[in-house]
Amino acid sequence: VTTWNAKHPYLYTLALNLVDKNGNTVEARSSKIGFRDVRFSEKNALLINGVPVKLIGVNRHDHSPTGGKTVTRAEMEKDIFLLKQNNFNSIRTSHYPNDPHIYDLCDKYGLYVIDEANIESHGVRGELANDPTWTASTMDRVIRLVERDKNHASIISWSFGNESGCGPTFAGMSGYVKDFDPTRFIHYEGAQGDPNHPEYAPIGSKKHKEFNAKYHSNPTDPPYVDVLSRMYPHLEQLEGIATSPFINRPILMCEYAHSMGNSLGNLKEYWDLIYAHDNLIGGYIWDMIDQGIERTAKNGKKYFAYGGDFGDTPNDQNFCINGVFNSDRGLRPQTYECKYVFQPVVIKAVDLKKGIIEIENRYNFTNLSNYMFTWEVVENGKTMQQGEFKGPDIEPGKKGNAKSGYKQIKPKAGNDYWVQVKMFSTKNEDWAEAGYQIAEEQLIIQDSKPVLDAVKTTAPEIAENEAAITLKGNKFSATFDKQTGALSSLNYNGLKVIEKPLVPNLWRPPTDNDSRGWKTPEKLEVWAKSKETITLESISAQKQGDVVVITIKRIIPNAGNIEENYTVYGNGIIDVDFNLQVEESAPELIRVGMQAGINKAFVNARFYGNGPHENYIDRNQSAFKGLYAMKTNALTESYVKPQECGNRTGVEWLELKTENGKALKVEAKDKIAFAVWPFTEENLSTSNFTWELEEAEYYTLNIDLIQAGVGGIDTWSIKARPIQNYRLLEKNYSYGFRLGLANASTP
């Protein structure tokens, strides 16, 4: 017998013939069936056909941007293809049995399924589970689910519904299903026992800290479920459960990594934990697709509508906008992060100068010899050598070395070098043609710190009056406003660069995680209002040899002090140094940077840093260092409810160019982050829909040292805040960058 698994979904055709007493066929039917075995190991790993498997899952709702809950078969198939293409292997049918066609597709193309009953009593929690008058109707839903779907090979687990508390009714369901079908495991997250158990204490509380010291000394989850299921656990909680000596069941996150708006930070940290522990069998991101409905606004712009747009009151506003994919099934920055974190190989350096790498095969049933790999040796973003090699003979779950075949290199001082390795399919699949890229890794050979070129010019002329300090040099002029201390005007050879002054920027338009869970507008109010409350303490201009230094000191009441130094050269180059000293009593920061409005003529962009897609410090595993070029407008990411967007990390330089070739160049003294928006921060912060975003008369340019992460645990509690590693908790921040006119090459 050839067994079925999600990677190789082998199906047999079962033919049934009904014949009469004379042997004539009266009716004939056929069905696709598969054979597979589901069980748990002694270490509580999930075994499919005896092989350990991690469930790389997503919660799926029926959704069409034009049909709502009326989903076509083509859209269903597109869902399956998207998941396969982005390295998912499982879905949970949250929170109802799906159209039977979905299970046929999962059988055919290969996805593991947790099949969930349509039971939900969130508002009253476990009241119905403990009310005998509801037992029959509740049991009926589970019985019908199991009876209808029992022959699908893709279904590996029955789930008894969602967020309906705990009680005898669910114990009865389990008794029935275990007797009727012992081949699949029972899941129900609501079966958690005592809600006063310390596990449920708020993160950071004394009760929770005590619990961290000894997780589950008295586990209370009822025995009628086969796995311990948790929603949105903090990383410490997940690790604590995994390492507890008192727990002897597999652990599954039926919901985690709430992908609402600009989110899905720290996904890597979750999966580092999952791969480190046999009994962490995987998780299901909430959720797959933004559930927006396509509409056309009164100004003619198309957008995705959400709660409250249909005369519906009450509503949850945009709380159905939390997908890994857009409402129209388009890709998002989160999609790329998922594809990378979930990719089936881990590629590490052994001896990069000789081209030797180590590859770990995370496939469960496939040898890497079935794939093709390519490599590029890159210097400062430009390819030096390239080639390919056949996938090495590495069995599932094993590691081995591979030699790429490039010539040994001798890195030059001051240059960056890396190897870019990509993995491709070699045969056509139903969901992707041969040559589809499955995985990618960047291995750094040498990462040099940026060095700004020395500048030799004569000092610019200084003109000062009560209102401003103006500097003039060779075909340039710069003006500093003495009331605000801002660089208010910058002109190069007749090209006006600055349309809105360059000022400190210590805030970001709140993401859903920021506003709903972290509540940054209230908790970080001093930074939210800093542009309004900041006062100028002093501004001075001093000629120092061949340069002029403008020193600006500012005070943010009850928050901190800022000192900016602008070193201005006679050819128009300006070096900016920024230092922020935060008061001990001030709350943590969310952004450290500067912002200006720049000429809308800069329609083309190039940058050298992490990209090409939007990325943040806790969601940039999939964004590789490189040299990228695109239209300036393409730097902005469109979220259904507008919010902070478009950031790029690890940037060494940014070049913004006009159509006639003039370019503004921003060069980092170390590394910076940047974002460019075609609208104002105020517009971005106050708009509820994309159709409300209006093209400004300038681009908003953010030049940052750093931003806090976007968070990725939930969106409604303090856990929405980024994890500790990605918060801005220091009290002193300094960085620098250079502004100048560049002779830009063609992107």
Question: Hey, is 354 helix, strand or coil?
Answer: helix
pLDDT of residue 428: 94
CA-based nearest residue to 79, from 271, 328, 248: 328
The residue whose two tokens read 């509503």 is 315
Asked whether the beta carbons of 99 and 60 are under 8 A apart, the reply is no
- The 3-state DSSP class for residue 76 equals helix
Q: How many C-beta neighbours within 10 Å does residue 542 have?
A: 10
Q: Which residues of 380-413 are buried (b: 16+ CB within 10 A; e: fewer)?
A: ebeeebeeebebbebebeeeeebebebeebeeee
pLDDT at residue number 216: 47
Q: Looking at the chain, how many residues does it have? A: 747
Q: Are 431 and 85 in contact (CB under 8 A)?
A: yes
Query: Given phi > 0 = left and psi -120 to 50 = alpha, else beta, which region is 414?
Result: left
Give me the pLDDT at residue 204, please.
Answer: 56
Provide φ and ψ at 210, rounded to 5°: -65, -40
Q: What are the φ and ψ backbone dihedral angles of 152, each rounded to 5 degrees?
A: -90, 125
| Secondary structure percentages of the chain, helix, strand, coil, to 5 | 20, 40, 45
HSE (side-chain half, CA atoms, 13 Å) at 610:
23
Distances (CA, A) of 234 to 211, 267, 274, 362: 13, 12, 13, 25
In 12-97, DSSP assigns E strands to: 12-19, 25-33, 38-40, 46-48, 51-52, 55-59, 90-92
pLDDT at position 471: 97
Detail the DSSP E strand segments found in 104-206: 112-116, 155-159, 185-187
Beta-carbon contacts of 738 under 8 Å, excluding residues fewer than 6 positions away, are: 452, 573, 574, 575, 576, 665, 666, 667, 669
- Compute the distance between CA of residue 401 and CA of residue 403 in angstroms, rounded to an integer: 7
pLDDT of residue 353: 82
Q: Is 19 helix (H, G, I), strand (E, B) or coil?
A: strand
Task: List the beta strands (DSSP E) in 612-731.
Answer: 624-631, 648-657, 662-677, 698-707
Distances (CA, A) of 1 to 13, 342, 371, 606: 13, 30, 26, 56
Which amino acid would we find at residue 687? S
Q: Which residue has the tokens 């501004």?
A: 539
Nearest to 692 by CA among 323, 325, 319, 295: 295
Q: Helix (H, G, I), strand (E, B), or coil: what is residue 538? A: strand
The two beta strands, 560-568 and 498-505, are unpaired
The token pair at 278 is: 């046999």
d(C-alpha 662, C-alpha 660), whole Å: 6
Give whole-number Cα distances, 641 to 264, 326, 512, 549, in Å. 16, 12, 9, 43
- The residue ranges of the chain whose pLDDT is under 70 are 193-220, 743-747
Instruction: Give how far the C-alpha of residue 691 lies from the chain's centroid of Cα atoms, to the nearest Å.
Output: 24
Question: Catalytic positions, please?
Answer: 163, 255
Q: What is residue 207's predicted lDDT score, i.e. its pLDDT?
A: 60
Largest Cα separation within the chain, whole Å, is: 112
- How many Å from the N-terminal Cα to the C-terminal Cα in the chain? 56
Q: How far is CA 206 from CA 58, 198, 203, 216, 235, in A?
A: 33, 10, 9, 16, 18
The angle at the Cα of 102, spanning 98 to 107, to the nearest 5 degrees, equals: 130
> Residue 161: which region, alpha, beta or left (left: phi > 0; alpha: psi -120 to 50)?
left
